[in-house]
Chain A
Amino acid sequence: MDAIQIDRVSKAFAGTQAVNDVSLTVKKGELFGLIGPDGAGKTTLFKILVTLLRPDQGKAQVNGMDVVGDFRKLRPLIGYMPGRFSLYPDLSVEENLSFFATVFGTTIAANYELIRDIYVQLEPFKNRRAGALSGGMKQKLALCCALIHKPDVLFLDEPTTGVDAVSRKEFWDMLHRLNERGLTILVSTPYMDEAGQCDRIALMQTGQILAVDTPAGVENLFQKPLFAVKARETYRLIQDLRAAPFTETCYAFGEYLHLTSLPSVTAEIIRDYLIQKYHEAVEIKPIKAGIEDSFMALMQHHGEGSQHG
């Protein structure tokens, strides 16, 4: 039995198709990532899976139970950390945790083992009001509250949004440790660089799934020639490369620009073109696509993105 099974699920709000005919399977014990920007439909899909919203069409099962028909039996088996901070700000750290434990008919002591690593960092502040915690601490407390009834499947909706790069890395380390204990985790994020942390990922955009694969598999979906290009004047370089006859797309990627070219274009052709335009310190190398390259190519393939232009 799979941990999560989604079969042609759709959900619309006031004319907006938030989730559009989505099918997806998450295996038991997987750390599965839902990758996509705001408005992709990630949160709506989460709410359907944790029995807070009914789908307009389609069926979904978690741990073999239907999210509509079996919602009462299902709720104790899942943990859910919503994207917005949703603990009680006027209760202390400890009171929040014990509240959630009690609601699920258990105690902090009974399942302490599962949250120990995370909760020890919070314990010095256990009498502080949850509303007065820093962002990173709130996030850790919310994770503890989602875990305290020892769920089989954990749903984390954008746990790292707005969190700095160091704290994000720590959070993923925590997820890996939980996953190693056998917990199935479905996590969403708008940060493409986090996709590589997952066993498998689904790329989502405007309610649809663009691709489902391992991170390496998604990278391999990118089939066109790709070059990393750099020169002294970045802004002029982007403009010149976009105007070049051999260019399909050209986007900034950190220190380099990523240039997707027509077939049979070589680094020499690109270099000659740039030297004619008086670019200095030109550096060009063929590279392998990353997840973000694939995502952008898939977005364009689906006719998105370009309309934003």
Chain B
Amino acid sequence: MEKAVSTDKLTKRFGDFVATNEITFDVAQGEIFGFLGANGAGKTTAIRMLCGLLRPSSGSATIAGFDVYRQTEQIKQVIGYMSQRFSLYEDLTVRENIRFYGGIYGLPKAELRRKSDEIIQQLDLGGVADKLVASLPLGWKQRLAFSVALVHDPRIVFLDEPTGGVDPITRRQFWDMIYEAASRGTTIFVTTHYMDEAEYCNRVSIMVDGRIKALDTPAAMKQSFGVDSMDGVFQILARGTSTK
């Protein structure tokens, strides 16, 4: 089956600084892939290249078969993106946000109406569908942002610290949604600072100073580093390199 993500020595330089240094990895369709690393390790630069937002300096990468140099518009059609900071318009209502994003992705009117009703029903937002997003609790916003990121049925969705700051129950409800999307075949590409969430991924990569230092299933990684948690693995790999 075609890979959701495939990179070969993907590199980005800013002047003398190599932000992302020859990273090579594949992500299978339907996989939950954890993309970990310390602050400043080069994760954001890598994600921007994979989303077709930043032209690589060298190396190659394809997203759902599309080339990150030449086919950036096609890439934007097959990916979804959600960040912790900004995903929804606070001054639009729940329904308006869904319609706005669906419209951007060119969903036909009837389809858009069907999708809006489906999302509102799934998230149990019927009572607040015409309320401003600003008035919703953070946990609801995040789950709505995730559904909106999936409104155009993307092949792969990039989640950049999607669960920061939410309560522990909502955080797990969010992961239920991730599992469900993955079970329907959507590839999940997720970054997080919660090391327990690294365990929920099928495979995990850990970036240190622009390079991928380890890539494996959480179980295999823990075994090879002789520790009993992903936090242990992370502390060994990223220690002493993160604070600059």
Complex CA gap A190/B84 in Å reads 14
Q: Which residues of B contact A134 (CB under 8 A)?
A: 39-40, 243-244
A37 touches B193 (CB 8 A): no
Complex CA gap A253/B199 in Å reads 8
Q: Which of B139, B193, B235 has the most CB of A within 10 A?
A: B193
B168 touches A296 (CB 8 A): yes
B196 touches A37 (CB 8 A): no
Q: Which residues of B contact A161 (CB under 8 A)?
A: 164-165
Per the 8 Å Cβ criterion, residues 198-246 of A in contact with B are 205, 234-235, 238
Name the contact of B168 in the complex, choosing from A135, A165, A192 (C-beta under 8 A): A192
Q: Which residues of A contact B238 (CB under 8 A)?
A: 164-166
Q: Which residues of B contact A254 (CB under 8 A)?
A: 195-200, 229-230
Q: Which residues of B contact A167 (CB under 8 A)?
A: 38-39, 242-243
Name the contact of A235 in the complex, choosing from B170, B179, B197, B239 (C-beta under 8 A): B179
**Given contacts A162-B161, A165-B195, A309-B173, are A37 and B166 in contact (CB under 8 A)?**
yes
A308 touches B173 (CB 8 A): yes
- Which chain B residue lies CB-closest to A236? B183
A238 touches B179 (CB 8 A): yes
B242 touches A37 (CB 8 A): no
**Given contacts A38-B138, A300-B169, A308-B139, are A135 and B40 in contact (CB under 8 A)?**
yes
How does the 8 Å CB contact mask read for B9-49 relative to A, with 1 for contact and 0 for none?
00000000000000000000000000001111000000000
Interface size class of A (residues with CB under 8 A): 35 or more
- Which chain A residue lies CB-closest to B84? A162
A163 touches B40 (CB 8 A): no
Q: Which of A162, A168, A295 has the most CB of B within 10 A?
A: A162
B91 close to chain A: CB less than 8 A = no
Per the 8 Å Cβ criterion, residues 85-134 of B in contact with A are 124
State how many residues of chain B have any CB contact under 8 Å with chain A.
45
- A-B contacts, 16 of them at CB < 8 A, read A36-B167, A37-B167, A37-B170, A38-B138, A121-B243, A136-B244, A137-B244, A164-B38, A165-B193, A166-B38, A167-B39, A205-B167, A251-B168, A254-B199, A254-B230, A308-B137
Q: Which residues of A contact B183 (CB under 8 A)?
A: 235
Q: Which residues of A contact B234 (CB under 8 A)?
A: 164-166
B73 close to chain A: CB less than 8 A = no
Q: Which of B137, B180, B183 has the most CB of A within 10 A?
A: B137
- Which chain B residue lies CB-closest to A309? B173
A95 close to chain B: CB less than 8 A = no
A234 touches B243 (CB 8 A): no
A165 touches B243 (CB 8 A): no
Q: Which residues of B contact A39 (CB under 8 A)?
A: 137-138
B176 close to chain A: CB less than 8 A = yes
Q: Which residues of A contact B40 (CB under 8 A)?
A: 134-136
A64 close to chain B: CB less than 8 A = no
B239 touches A166 (CB 8 A): yes
Name the contact of A299 in the complex, choosing from B164, B169, B175 (C-beta under 8 A): B169
Q: Which residues of B contact A268 (CB under 8 A)?
A: none
Q: Which residues of A contact B230 (CB under 8 A)?
A: 254
Nearest Cβ on chain B to A117's Cβ, whole angstroms: 13
A152 close to chain B: CB less than 8 A = no
**Given contacts A162-B193, A255-B218, are A38 and B166 in contact (CB under 8 A)?**
yes
- Which chain B residue lies CB-closest to A306? B169
| Extra A-B contacts (11), CB below 8 Å, given A306-B169, A308-B173 | A37-B168, A135-B40, A162-B164, A193-B231, A205-B167, A234-B179, A235-B182, A255-B219, A295-B168, A296-B169, A304-B169
B140 close to chain A: CB less than 8 A = yes
Q: Which residues of A contact B182 (CB under 8 A)?
A: 235
Nearest Cβ on chain B to A85's Cβ, whole angstroms: 13
B167 touches A166 (CB 8 A): no
